[in-house]
Amino acid sequence: MRHGVTGGRLAGSKWPVLDGAVADFAIVVAQDGDAGPALFRVDLAGAGVTRTSLRTVDPSREQSRIDFDGAAAERIGTGTFAWADVERLLDRAAVLLAFEQVGGATECLEMATSYARERNAFGRPIGSFQAIKHKLADVYIATELARSNAYYGAWALSTDAAELPIAAAAARVAASDAYHLASKENIQTHGGMGFTWQLDCHLYYRRSKMLALTLGSQPHWRERLVSGFEARVEAQDKAAA
């Protein structure tokens, strides 16, 4: 929803906001009168701010709706501001989020591997069966690919490299895919127990689905990745000509 700032006061709503109930302040993209969009810092403990908890598929992480009704807003930076500036912020956030997803995928793989070594069927551990081996091997490959892309994104972020948009999109896509695969196969490896609330498998699956929607969906980041490669090829062609 579009936010508007008039006379240093912000009006509008935003949801879902990750950890919105415990955050001290928010950075909001809002319309600054007739000057166009800009970034604003808002004290969430101040007047004119209402926070409401939301129910989502992931009960282990809080999400909120924040309503602004004349809340004091401090503009960040000066001069003109464009959507490209927002995308640069999202690129940086995407790299950091990718590492959380890689961590979740790694934990799912470790849970599944540990269970496959302990659970016996037909007189031997289920991890010795080819079907389980192939399943876990696929998860390992996807997780390590995501880790590599996340490291690439971290390098681009730390050096402010021109490759950051492509690196961030690649990290985001690979990490989302890996976490979803790992959390899904973790449930499958645990069999009937994996579908129950007695184990934590479902929490990782829920978290993977929520994180895949944070900062934009998979199709959005795939499009950014393809567009970034197309722009690079066009630039190389022009330079060669």
- Print pLDDT tens along the chain (241 aa): 456 888 899 999 999 999 999 999 999 989 888 778 888 999 999 999 999 999 999 999 999 999 999 999 999 887 778 888 889 999 999 999 999 999 999 999 999 999 999 999 999 999 999 999 999 999 999 999 999 999 999 999 999 999 999 999 999 999 999 999 999 999 999 998 898 989 999 999 999 999 999 999 999 999 999 999 999 889 888 888 8
One domain for residues 66 and 112 = no
Nearest to 78, CA basis, from 40, 43, 25, 44? 40
CA dist 118 and 124 (Å) reads: 9
CA dist 117 and 104 (Å) reads: 20
**Tell me, what's the pLDDT at 224?**
94
Q: What is the DSSP letter of 35?
A: S
CA dist 202 and 167 (Å) reads: 30
With vertex at residue 169, the alpha carbon angle to CA 221 and CA 58, rounded to the nearest 5 degrees, is: 65
Host domain of residue 208 = 83-240
Does the predicted TM-score (pTM) go above 0.85?
yes
- For the chain, helix (H) and strand (E) counts, in that order, are 5, 8
The enclosing domain of 36 has a CATH number of 2.40.110.10
SS3 letters across 60-97: CCCEEEEEEEEEEEEEECCCCCCHHHHHHHHHHHHHHH
The enclosing domain of 224 has a CATH number of 1.20.140.10
**Tell me, what's the pLDDT at 3?**
63
- The burial class, CB within 10 Å (0-12 / 13-18 / 19+), for 139 is buried
One domain for residues 138 and 90 = yes
Residue 167 CB partners (closer than 8 Å, separation 6+): 95, 149, 152, 153, 155, 156, 157, 161
One domain for residues 34 and 96 = no
Q: How much is the CA Rg of the chain, to the nearest whole Å?
A: 22
* DSSP assignment string, 106-153: HHHHHHHHHHHHH-EETTEEGGGSHHHHHHHHHHHHHHHHHHHHHHHH
One domain for residues 96 and 64 = no
Farthest-apart Cα atoms in the chain, separation: 74
Helix axes 83-118, 201-213, angle to 10 degrees: 160
One domain for residues 29 and 70 = yes
CA dist 96 and 215 (Å) reads: 11
Q: Which helix (H) or strand (E) holds 18?
A: strand 9-18
CA dist 165 and 237 (Å) reads: 20
> Where is the domain boundary, 13, 41, 76?
76
> Where is the domain boundary, 44, 76, 108?
76
One domain for residues 48 and 103 = no
Domain count, the chain: 2
CA dist 241 and 235 (Å) reads: 10
